[in-house]
Amino acid sequence: MLTELLTGWIAHQRWFAGKGRPIDALAVDSDLELAPGLRHLIVSVRQGETRDRYQLLLGCRQEIPDRLTHAQIGYADGQGFYDAAHDADLTGTLLEAMAAGRDLGPLRFRHLEGAGIDTSQRSLVLGAEQSNTSLVYGDAYICKLFRRLIPGVNPELEITNALALRKAAHIAQPYGWIETDLDGEPTTLAMTQEFLSNANDGWALALASVRDLYNSPERSASDAGGDFSAESFRLGTATAEVHREMAAAFPTGVMEAAEVKSLMEDQRRRLARAVEEVPELAARAHVAEEAYQRVVDVAHAVPVQRVHGDYHLGQVMRTPTDWIILDFEGEPGQPLAERRALSSPLRDVAGMLRSFDYAARHLLADHPEAGDLHAQAVEWAELNRSSFLAGYSAGGGRLRGEDAVLLRALELSKAVYEVVYEARNRPSWLPVPLAAFDA
């Protein structure tokens, strides 16, 4: 039976949000033939009280060829089934339908006005660690399939299209998208944007700098060959410029002191849930509680706007001339309303500050001389955090003295989220966010 095959297969997918928890039931909610041998499925997965929906591209063949065995789901009812995202003979259907602005059943394929799409490009699945699945077509386009579906327009499509209309810098140009109605709401299934073929991932660049420093421990972070601080400064400036464009493209507001206090109450509740799920956090929770209390003690009105929401070094790419910011979809798994809510831009600043800490400490996890390198880790992180903040100010980002208390609280709030994220997805990485409470 196909549902049994899918149940066994989905549990092991990187993008599956319910890893580690038993699947009580999987049902196929919709099954649409997009082309011969290519079906689009939306499946519901029930685990305890939660019901999540995922989209699958299902390839169907009598015999699954060797080139696709790595994508095999299994055989049932005399058919071979596999993840068609890996079959370039079939994924061209998506690009062609976007280029043509076609409707296929309830699926609507669209392209931006004036966006010329070369449909001859063949796809490969991107190998990067991802919460979704990205198809890279030649070296021209990348189509991100949002695997876990939450009703509504994905913030990444909404924000990227709005910034492109404003001809904003520091974004990858959007080309098209796929949508359908889910629970009566237009819902984004995928989006296609320019593929930055000559770019390097910010996380990889930062790690290279840290590795260089660790390999020459007698040098300071600013002397090491891979000094990253000038890049951190430029990234800060680009971040401030994108924040300014987002403030112009979407509504803004003011979070009054009372709302700031209420936000800290929410953070306290989130902390309590995190402590229940990750006991290692319990002994450190007071650090976050004290930071939240300091915000309450000096609460004042703060400007709010649309923000990135899940900002870190893995979400930015360095081209030969620029920093490009990607993946405006917010924290995976959070309700759409929360991901589209107006927030302080300092939330993104805090996310990137956390990422410098991650880059500095990640390599220490299993490094033979970790103890001796701790000072370099702290120095590298401090140098790049301050450079990023300097760049953010230089780019016009608001960083006032009275914001320091809120920024610290937002950093610890992000660290609480990361503790839960790592406990669920990468337990060996857990010491990295836990260290944020020891500083």
Ligand X SMILES: O=P(O)(O)O[C@H]1O[C@H](CO)[C@@H](O[C@H]2O[C@H](CO)[C@@H](O)[C@H](O)[C@H]2O)[C@H](O)[C@H]1O
Residues at the contact surface with ligand X, assessed by CB under 6 A: 129, 131, 203, 310, 312-314, 327, 331-332, 354-355, 358, 418, 421
- Determine, following the binding rule CB under 6 A, whether residue 123 of this chain makes contact with ligand ADP: no
Residue 5 burial class via C-beta count within 10 angstroms: exposed 0-12, middle 13-18, buried 19 and up: middle
395 part of the interface to ligand ADP, by CB under 6 A: no
Alpha carbon distance 164, 156 (integer Å)? 12
Q: Which is nearer to ligand ADP, 72 or 130 (CB)?
A: 130
Contact call for residues 347 and 260 (beta carbons, < 8 A): no
**For ligand ADP, which residue of 326, 352, 389, 435 counts as binding (CB under 6 A)?**
326
Task: Give the one residue of 126, 169, 257, 399 binding ligand ADP; rule: CB under 6 A.
Answer: 126
**Cβ–Cβ < 8 Å for 231, 222:** no
Q: Which stretch binds ligand ADP (CB under 6 A): 224-232, 248-256, 311-319, 349-357?
A: 311-319
Q: Which option in ligand X, ligand ADP, none does residue 312 bind, with CB closer than 5 to 8 A by kind?
A: ligand X
Is position 35 an interface residue for ligand ADP (rule: CB under 6 A)? no
**How many C-beta atoms lie closer than 10 Å to residue 347's C-beta?**
20
Partner that binds at residue 305, options ligand X, ligand ADP, none, CB closer than 5 to 8 Å by kind: none
- Please state the closest distance from residue 336 (CB atom) to ligand X, in A: 15
In whole angstroms, what is the distance from residue 127 CA to residue 80 CA?
24
Q: Which residues in 18-34 are b (16+ Cβ under 10 Å) and which e? A: beeeebeebeeebeeeb
- 70-89: contacts with ligand ADP (CB under 6 A): none
Q: Which of 93, 121, 123, 131 binds ligand ADP (CB under 6 A)?
A: 131
In the chain the first and final C-alpha atoms are separated, in Å, by 53
> Residue 283: helix, strand or coil by DSSP?
helix
Instruction: Give the one residue of 55, 93, 123, 134 binding ligand ADP; rule: CB under 6 A.
Output: 134
Q: How far apart are CA 382 and CA 229, in angstroms?
A: 10
193 binds ligand ADP (CB under 6 A): yes
Closest of 391, 388, 376, 382 to residue 224, by C-alpha: 376
Q: Does 351 bind ligand ADP (CB under 6 A)?
A: no
Residues near ligand ADP (CB under 6 A):
126, 128, 130-132, 134, 142, 144, 172, 193-196, 199, 201, 314-315, 317, 326-327
